[in-house]
Chain A
Amino acid sequence: MSAAVTESAQISQQPARRQPVGLVFCCTILGAAAQILMKTGANHMAEPGLLAMATNLPLMAGYCLYGISTLLLVLALKDGELSLLYPVIALTYVWVTILSFLIFHDSINSWKLLGIVLIVAGVAVLGKGGKR
């Protein structure tokens, strides 16, 4: 307990220029959009092969979004703690579950719902702990 108190006291002393948890939050939204695009691309692919992949617009857009999301992760890691930020990436599961329900009409059941609630709660706990 005392360790947690000293840590938050130290953090509150430094001026926070960016908010790393917020950056990782954006990173998970982009990551989820990338996965949905890649799934769409894979559904539209008639035959496997490198040329088919390179000319597959949704697939390539998915890869680009992954690139941008990695970039945001790097910017976040520059200012934030790895042990705090890395688990926040699990938010991707939440967005993917919601988006695949809306777009692909995948089923949502009480297990998934419980999982989503727990992940969001966990990220909230980490986000609160990581505040300046």
Chain B
Amino acid sequence: MKTPVSNMLLVLFASFIGSFGAVFLKSGAEQVRQGWLYLFISRKAPFFNWRLATGVALFLISSYFFVQGIRQGELSVLYPMVSLGYIWTLLWSRIFFKEPLTRVKFFGLFLIVAGVFFVGMGSK
């Protein structure tokens, strides 16, 4: 079975959108008041935590494209593309939240991406 390029692009796009979902979820989480009851109410005006809402919306959009993408093609090719999302997120964490990129993070991420690749290999 060959993997159509269009399906690869769909999954890549899903991972890209999903990584931005994570960025919005993180920036929204920083605004959350004590207690989860206040999840969508932010500290500052306009009080509705639109960052969290955007993050959730992006995750939903991403999962739509992901499901469309993996309908056809080899999972051994498509799954590693999903885990590329972790690498985008590492970049965005550095750029938007000034998080340090340590050797431990790179090593852990490398193991996980390799692991997702092999799970995909076995899921033919």
Q: In the complex, are the beta carbons of A123 and B119 less than 8 A apart?
A: no
Q: In the complex, are the beta carbons of A122 and B110 less than 8 A apart?
A: yes
Name the residue on A nearest B28 (C-beta).
A74
The residue from B105, B108, B123 contacting A123, defined by CB atoms under 8 A apart:
B108
Q: In the complex, are the beta carbons of B89 and A86 less than 8 A apart?
A: yes
Interface string of A90-101 (1 = CB under 8 A from B): 100100010000
A71 to B55, CA, bound (A): 12
Task: Place the interface of chain B in its size category.
Answer: 35 or more
Spell out A's residues near B (CB within 8 Å): 1, 3-4, 7, 70-71, 73-75, 77-78, 81-84, 86-87, 90, 93, 97, 108-126, 128-129
14 of the cross-chain contacts (CB-CB < 8 Å) are: A70-B56, A82-B99, A87-B112, A90-B86, A90-B112, A112-B118, A112-B121, A115-B117, A118-B111, A122-B111, A122-B115, A123-B112, A125-B108, A126-B108
Spell out B's residues near A (CB within 8 Å): 19, 22-23, 25-26, 28-30, 32, 36, 39, 52, 56, 59, 83, 86, 89-90, 92-94, 97, 99-105, 107-112, 114-123
